[in-house]
Amino acid sequence: MKLKIVKGTRDLYGDDIIRFQRLESAARQVFTLYGYEEIRTPMFERTELFAHGVGQDTDIVGKEMFLLEDRRGRSLALRPEGTASVVRSVITDNHMQQSNHRRFFYMGPMFRYEQPQKGRFRQFDQIGAEYFGVTTPDADLEVLLMLRHFFKAVNLESVSFQLNTIGCQKPECRPAFKKKLIIYLELHRSHLCENCKRRLETNPLRVLDCKEESCIAATSDAPRIYEHVCGECSGHFGQLKTMLREHKVSYELNHKLVRGLDYYSRTVFEVYSENLGAQNAAGGGGRYDGLFEIYGSPIVPALGFALGLDRLAMLIPEIEQESGGIFVVGHDRSKVTGLVAMLREAGYKCLYDPFQASMKSQFRQANKAGVTHVLILGEEEITNNTVSVKSMKDSNQVNLPFDGILEYIGQDLNPKN
Ligand code: HAM
């Protein structure tokens, strides 16, 4: 049997895991400051949750879901994104009963059957946040401020925000704009790719963010949605832009930004970095004030975002080797393992050679591991019931009674160094 990893998936270890951990812990720390609570939803849900919420005509639902059937023939889907699941939990577990506004964040793997390429996988990780209950644009501002805060915390200040509004479902808002857009697109039909000719019928807004050269050119003079939304949506967007300027959040308006999921209304945004290339957003999100209604639940205004962890990790430069800890060398297996266990329980990272190779080799291993101290349990030390402590920084060595070792180390080393 030839073992092979599944296409579009990968194993994470070494520096990649350190990058993931840094991003995840910064997100936990920063999001908590803004009142977000962690939520973990199942990795699979009933397929209809995504079909209704994300939208039948989206690529994610139409082409990219990993579907399974349970033993009773019910269709389940590996989650392609987190928003629908969190909304499902808010509804099924009545989270809004506790307060009229709730904030949740999540992190974990998502699954999409996409063509794998740099920064695009079939299993990838997202860090997401969802804010429920508030209609006013200060909620949009807060979410964008939190994102800026997060990027500062992980030293990724080169990322930029693109912003748009896609209005609401009122007849004079997005539906009226769609009609104008269709008229424009029909005039340019011959320049559109085959996919967009089809989208013209099913989801004309998506033509605006097609990445085909000919479609980009054909839509360059298309009507701008932010100039055509209804008075209320335009007011919301205007207030948000004013507040963003007041808080010195820089952003670029992008009238072609419409997002690939159907649940959005009003504000939409994406996060970009030059280093990821033009096609790859590091994250995206927006408002989805209408999603609860689609699920037949009382309206709850909401907004949120998700960041692609795999893509953010690519932006984090080289990881310096983590140094620190203690290495115990010696040949008396029970004395060595006893000391190691004592040090670990006292809170120190502690290593030793389970194969008890030569002292020279054990010192070489200690060097390679980058520890700050080597504890020596040689024959002499064992006879005298002492331990020698060698500092790897300055090679200074002291001999101490075995019983005083923790006290000495406590003065010289911080636990978990
Ligand atoms: P999304 O734009 O579909 O939004 O995904 C968010 C981010 O996930 C993307 O910007 C990208 O960085 C990452 N991502 C998506 N697909 C892949 C892939 N195949 N491989 C690697 N990374 C990927 C959502 O998922 C919405 N739920 C965001 C949201 C939350 N909107 C409101 N609340």
**Whose C-alpha lies nearest to ligand 1, atom 1?**
284
Output the pLDDT for position 333. Answer: 95
Ligand 1 midpoint to CA 285 (Å): 8
Ligand 1 midpoint to CA 27 (Å): 16
Output the pLDDT for position 417. Answer: 44
Q: Is the pLDDT of residue 391 over 70?
A: yes
Output the pLDDT for position 409. Answer: 83
Local confidence band at 414 (pLDDT 50, 70, 90 cut-offs): low
Ligand 1 midpoint to CA 29 (Å): 21
145-160 tens-digit pLDDT = 999 999 999 999 889 9
Ligand 1: atom nearest CA of 287 is 32
- Are 249 and 189 a contacting pair, CB within 8 Å? no
Q: What is the mean pLDDT of residues 175-190?
A: 96
Ligand 1: atom nearest CA of 121 is 20
Buried b (16+ CB within 10 A) or exposed e, 125-149: bbbbbbbbbbbebebbbbbbbbbbe
193-231 tens-digit pLDDT = 999 999 998 889 999 989 899 999 999 999 999 999 999
Ligand 1 midpoint to CA 155 (Å): 21
**Whose C-alpha lies nearest to ligand 1, atom 13?**
308
Q: What is the mean pLDDT of residues 383-387?
A: 96
Ligand 1 midpoint to CA 168 (Å): 22
DSSP state of 245: H
Q: Residue 93 — φ and ψ, nearest 5°?
A: -105, 10
8-18 tens-digit pLDDT = 999 999 999 99
344-356 tens-digit pLDDT = 999 999 999 999 9
Q: What is the mean pLDDT of residues 227-250?
A: 97
> Ligand 1: residues whose CB is within 6 Å?
81-83, 112, 114, 119-121, 124, 126, 128, 130, 260-261, 281-286, 304-306, 308, 310-311
11-53 tens-digit pLDDT = 999 999 999 999 999 999 999 999 999 999 999 999 999 999 9
Q: What is the mean pLDDT of residues 254-260?
A: 94
State percent of the chain over pLDDT 70: 98
Q: Is the pLDDT of residue 276 over 90?
A: no
Local confidence band at 408 (pLDDT 50, 70, 90 cut-offs): confident
Q: Is the pLDDT of residue 384 over 70?
A: yes
Cα 278 to Cα 283: distance, rounded to the nearest angstrom: 13
- Are 87 and 263 a contacting pair, CB within 8 Å? no
Q: What's the mean per-residue pLDDT of the chain?
A: 94
Choose which residue among 7, 66, 81 to substitute to test ligand 1 binding: the one with the highest number of ligand atoms within 8 A of its C-beta. Answer: 81
Q: What is the mean pLDDT of residues 304-319?
A: 93
Output the pLDDT for position 412. Answer: 65
Output the pLDDT for position 323. Answer: 76
Q: What is the mean pLDDT of residues 404-416?
A: 73
Ligand 1: atom nearest CA of 306 is 28
- Are 123 and 111 a contacting pair, CB within 8 Å? yes
> At a CB cut-off of 8 Å and minimum separation 6, what does 409 contact?
326, 343, 348, 373, 389
Q: What predicted TM-score, i.e. pTM, was given to this entire model?
A: 0.93
Ligand 1: atom nearest CA of 81 is 25
Ligand 1: atom nearest CA of 259 is 2
**Whose C-alpha lies nearest to ligand 1, atom 12?**
308
Ligand 1 midpoint to CA 353 (Å): 44
Local confidence band at 416 (pLDDT 50, 70, 90 cut-offs): very low
**Whose C-alpha lies nearest to ligand 1, atom 18?**
120
Cα 330 to Cα 377: distance, rounded to the nearest angstrom: 5
Output the pLDDT for position 185. Answer: 95
Q: Is the pLDDT of residue 321 over 80?
A: no
**Whose C-alpha lies nearest to ligand 1, atom 22?**
308
Q: What is the mean pLDDT of residues 121-140?
A: 98
Q: Which domains does the chain have, with CATH numbers?
A: 14-173+229-313 (3.30.930.10), 326-412 (3.40.50.800)
Q: What is the mean pLDDT of residues 179-200?
A: 94
Output the pLDDT for position 275. Answer: 82
**Whose C-alpha lies nearest to ligand 1, atom 15?**
308
**Whose C-alpha lies nearest to ligand 1, atom 30?**
305
Ligand 1: atom nearest CA of 128 is 30
